[in-house]
């Protein structure tokens, strides 16, 4: 069961993020997935902020943290693997922070509240670490049993995450798209990593 946990937790986390984004956006008048942050769905005064925060953001963050903890125990140990997983853990805390510290309405206030500041700091920290974390894990995966394909996917995910981060400007008309590229790159790769742990490592052991 331990070998299955990272795949299951990562897959459910991906499902929660995609579902909350699609459902929240569908019931948010005039919401644009291209130009608006995902956090706006759970912002104060958003139409369904409580649902998005407590049924979407919080479980997604907890599930990614579960992935990190169990993957740390299952994957071959190295400094890069540890650092990479810590970075993914920091990324997961962004979801948790979004639940407890929602952004202000619109997520672009001229005078941000304390909640907005905490939201920004925790979320941005995870985003900044994401490309480096994926690159570190991809580099490590080259030495894991049959880890070549996972390593290649990790480097692609790191590049896409970096691209999404570089284009993540609040003034951009495509900031929503940039954020979704970043989020999906991280989440899809950890699902792949979870599958690798489940399918390959028991045989290697």
Residue 200, pLDDT score: 80
Query: For the whole model, what pTM was predicted?
Result: 0.93
Residue 40, pLDDT score: 95
Which segments in the chain show pLDDT lower than 70?
Answer: 1-2, 203-205
pLDDT tens-digit series, residues 176-190: 999 999 999 999 999
pLDDT tens-digit series, residues 59-99: 999 999 999 999 999 999 999 999 999 999 999 999 999 99
Q: Is the dihedral of CA 14, 86, 142, 147 positive or negative?
A: negative
Residue 1, pLDDT score: 56
| First and final C-alpha spacing in the chain | 14
| Distance separating alpha carbons of residues 51 and 31, to the nearest angstrom | 16
């Amino acid at each position: 069961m331990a070998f299955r946990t990272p795949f299951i937790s990562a897959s459910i986390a991906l499902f929660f993020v995609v579902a909350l984004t699609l459902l929240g956006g569908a019931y948010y008048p005039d919401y644009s997935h291209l130009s608006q942050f995902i956090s706006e769905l759970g912002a104060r005064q958003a139409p369904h902020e409580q649902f998005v925060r407590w049924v979407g953001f919080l479980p997604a963050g907890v599930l990614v943290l579960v992935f990190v903890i169990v993957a740390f125990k299952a994957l071959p140990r190295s400094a890069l693997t540890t650092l990479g997983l810590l970075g993914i853990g920091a990324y997961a805390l962004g979801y948790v922070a979004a639940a407890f510290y929602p952004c202000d309405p619109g997520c672009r206030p001229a005078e941000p509240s304390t909640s907005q500041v905490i939201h920004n700091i925790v979320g941005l920290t995870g985003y900044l670490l994401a490309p480096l974390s994926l690159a570190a894990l991809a580099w490590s995966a080259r030495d894991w049993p049959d880890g070549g394909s996972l390593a290649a996917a990790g480097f692609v995910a790191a590049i896409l995450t970096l691209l999404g981060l570089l284009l993540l400007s609040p003034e951009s008309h495509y900031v929503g798209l940039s954020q979704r590229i970043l989020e999906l790159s991280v989440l899809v790769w950890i699902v792949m990593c979870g599958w690798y742990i489940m399918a390959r490592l028991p045989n290697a052991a």
